[in-house]
Structures are given as structure tokens and as C-alpha cells.
A and B are shown apart, each in its own frame.
Chain A
Amino acid sequence: MLKYGLAYGLLSSRRRARQMLLPAITIATGAFLVVIVFAMSAGIKKQATALGHADEIGHAIVLIAVTVLLVGVVEAAVATTRTIAHRTRELGVLGATGVRSRPVLVALLVEPVVTAFFGALGGAVLAAVAGAVLGAVGAAESGVSASGTVTGLVIAVAVSVVAAAVTSVVPIWRAVHHPPIKSLSAS
């Protein structure tokens, strides 16, 4: 049954690609910042060590990275809330026609996860390209590390996808179990 929910989720994600653009861009922004921070962190740490403030600056970099990741998580949650609000009547129709709630839950989870994956991947790749260009022209004094870029890319995509899934489960579960009569009367 769940595979049919997955199939419906992929179909709706494909057809609703335009509506997913804005949430994807907001997630991409978060991913961009994560990759940039990770790409430059090694160089910044090296400079900090030379200046004798390695620990303080190291902590500051971790703080910035965590903050940026949290922003990404919040963006993923906001994107899900927006999606559910747009699809309330659809949920009402599915409930009124007696479709079971579990495959519907899976179907609705697909969209935020797909949005988070492509948004984060887009933002991360853009950041990697930007980092490479900055490094090549010598605009980044701290330097841009390839391993930091890859680490940042993996973390940005993974955190965005996991955050989208985790922050979506509860609101989607609630929406799916909302009485269909109330979902149908939603504007």
C-alpha cells in the first residue's frame, strides 16, 4: 500500500514542481551557507592558529555552522506547513473517498523530502562552484578546501532531507487525521 502512496507523492511532486520552487529556494539558501562555512573553515582555523586564537575562532565557526543548519531546518518546516495548507482540500477529498491514511501520509511526505533534496543539492552545488571560483581568483584569503566543500555538501543535503522528513511527520500526520469534513470546508 505504501508504494502506491510513494507513487502518488512522486506524481504530485512532478506536477507541482512550480509550487515547490519557493521552498526549494529557501532551503537552497541554507545549504549554500552551510557549504561556504565548511569550505572556508579549514583555512580560517589555520589563520586563527597563526594568530593564537584557534579555540575561540573554532567555536565561533561551529556556532555559525549550527545556526545556519538550524535556519535550514526551520526553512524545511515552514515549506512543509505551506504545502499542507495548500493541500488541505485534497486531503479532505481523499478522506471523504475513504482512502487509508498511511499511504496518504507517505504521499505527502514525498514532496517536502524531494523539495529539500533538490533545493539543498542545488544550493550546495552553487556554493561549491562559488567557492571554487573564489579560490581560483584568490578572493578568499582563508582559502577554499575541497574536502570541506564535500563535507559541507553532504551535511547540507543530509540535514535538509532529514530535517524536512522529521519536521513534516507531525504536521502531515495531524492533517491526514483531520476530519475530512473540516478539510473540505477549508478555503
Chain B
Amino acid sequence: MTVTEPASMSVAPSGGPVVKVTDAWKLHKLGDEIVRALVNVSLEVQPGEFVCLMGPSGSGKTTLLNIIGGLDRPTKGIVAIAGEDTSKITESQFAALRHDAIGYIFQSYNLIPFLSAMENVELPLMFEPYDRKALRKRAIDLLNLVGLGHRLDHQPAKMSGGEQQRTAIARSLISNPTLILADEPTANLDHRTGEVVVQTLRDLCSKLGVTVVASTHDPAVAEQASRVVRMKDGQIQAE
């Protein structure tokens, strides 16, 4: 399956890193113990890059993704998205930034079970005053983009894991984001389906200019990335 750009889709902005993490720390309190989930992490991601965060469980990959996406805040340090310092914005402002500029892909897809594939893709914009016909057309275009034009009315329970993950990818693109954050996007998929999903993510970068930051354990995913960042014990080990 290959990605072709729908007419309405624009490309990521030019100039400056999309993501800039500077000296980020994340400490959790677990009983009497302080867990260091991130230790002095700095990372820059340029527009159109496909960056893969690799490392064992507990290495801080998901924490770093969550901090970039504003689902979690660093204990110390700065995270800038498209040049905007997110440490100075409120939760609701970060939610608006997420809505406009960031797409999320989860390990367990997190599709809404009672909505069709089309409605799941529309979900992030369903609560906004968009023209419903244009929104429906865009959702169909995106499902065609990820090769699911034949599954528009299917609910998640009637789709395979790979199809659900590709629906989630289409959903992450509905707001035309500059950045996609994918947390272990192939972890629940068999090897072949995982390859299709990774190929889709890579095509988003190369053909649409979308920036992707993905966490994974899977070396096959890392092989497709334009850059691999290795993490261990909350620190970046090597690039």
C-alpha cells in the first residue's frame, strides 16, 4: 500500500525544529522512592523527520512522547513545539495545540467502539463547527490514503488489528497536524501488518512532510526511521 496525498492536505511548516526538548527531567514519586523517568533529556526533531525512540521497557520512551504531546509535563526543562515554549501555556492551551498541530497514535489503537471507521477518523473535529460534508469527505480521503476505503462503515470490532491501527493513523491526520506521536504503533500487530503500518508512517514523512516521532521495541520499525534515538534508564544513550 502506498500513500498518495489528498487534495486538501497541506505540508508541514518550514524553518526551525518541530520539536525541541531541552534538559528535560521527569521525576515520579513511588511510595518513598523517587523514580527518575527522564534524566536531562535533550532532543531536536526537524520537519519531515521520522524519529524512532528505541529502548527497553521503562527506558523513558513513552514518558518522552507524553511530555512532547503535553499529556504529561516535565518536572524540569523546556519543551517547544514549532517554536512555542509549552512550559508557559495552560492545560487547555496545550489541548488546543494538540488539537491543531499534534496527532496521536496509541499502541492499543483507542478507537471508539460504537463509531464507524469514518466517524472515528472524524472524531477530533466532530465537536467543531466544520462543514459536515467537507469533514466527511476528508475522513474518506484519509481512509483511502491508508488503504481502508473499503472499510468506511465498519466498526472497530469488525476490523483487524492492522486495519484498526491504520484507522488510528487516519484519525491522527484529520486536523492536518505537523507532528505525529506514535507510541509503540506496531506492538499489538503481527510482523507483516506492522510493516504495512510502518510503511504508512514513513510515507507520511516522505510524501506529506509530516514529522513522526515513534517509540518502539521493534528493530524493523527502527530500520525504516530516518533517525534512531536509543534510550536507557530515562536517558538518551546514542543517536
Contact = CB atoms under 8 A, between A and B. Distances in A.
- A and B together in one complex: yes
Interface of A: 1, 4-5, 7-8, 11-12, 15-16, 89-90, 92-101, 103-104, 107, 179-181, 184
B126 interface: yes
Contacts of A104: 127
Nearest to B62: A181
Given A95-B95, A98-B97, A179-B71, A184 B110 contact: yes
A90 B102 contact: no
Interface in B101-115: 102, 104, 106, 110, 112, 114-115
Contact of A97 (B114, B119, B123): B123
B85 to A, nearest CB: 18
B225 to A, nearest CB: 23
A99 B95 CA distance: 7
B128 A15 contact: no
A107 B123 CA distance: 13
B124 A97 contact: yes
Given A4-B127, A4-B128, A98-B98, A93 B112 contact: yes
A181 B127 contact: no
Given A1-B127, A16-B114, A89-B110, 15 more contacts: A4-B126, A5-B127, A7-B126, A8-B126, A93-B110, A94-B123, A96-B71, A96-B110, A97-B104, A98-B99, A98-B100, A99-B95, A99-B127, A103-B127, A179-B72
A100 B100 CA distance: 12
A70 B171 CA distance: 43
B193 interface: no
A94 to B, nearest CB: 7
Given A98-B97, A181-B66, A92 B127 contact: no
18 contacts: A1-B127, A4-B126, A4-B127, A8-B126, A8-B127, A16-B114, A89-B110, A94-B123, A96-B104, A96-B106, A97-B123, A97-B171, A98-B95, A98-B175, A99-B123, A99-B127, A100-B92, A181-B71
Contact of B124 (A16, A98, A101): A98
A39 to B, nearest CB: 38
Contacts of A4: 126-129
Nearest to B181: A96
B115 A15 contact: yes
Given A92-B110, A181-B66, A181-B71, A98 B102 contact: yes
Nearest to B94: A98
Contacts of B72: 179, 181
Contacts of B171: 97
Interface string B64-94: 0010010110000000000000000000100
A94 B122 CA distance: 12
B127 A100 contact: yes
A90 B106 CA distance: 13
Contacts of B115: 15
Contacts of A97: 98-99, 104, 123-124, 171, 175
B96 interface: yes
B104 to A, nearest CB: 5
B12 to A, nearest CB: 18
A100 B95 contact: yes
A92 B123 CA distance: 13
Looking at B97, B123, B129, which has the most chain A CB atoms within 10 Å of its CB? B123
Contacts of B119: 11
A97 B71 CA distance: 10
Contacts of A184: 71, 106, 110
A93 B123 contact: yes
A106 B98 CA distance: 21
A1 B98 CA distance: 18
Interface in B33-58: none
Looking at A8, A98, A99, which has the most chain B CB atoms within 10 Å of its CB? A98
Contacts of A98: 95-100, 102, 124, 175
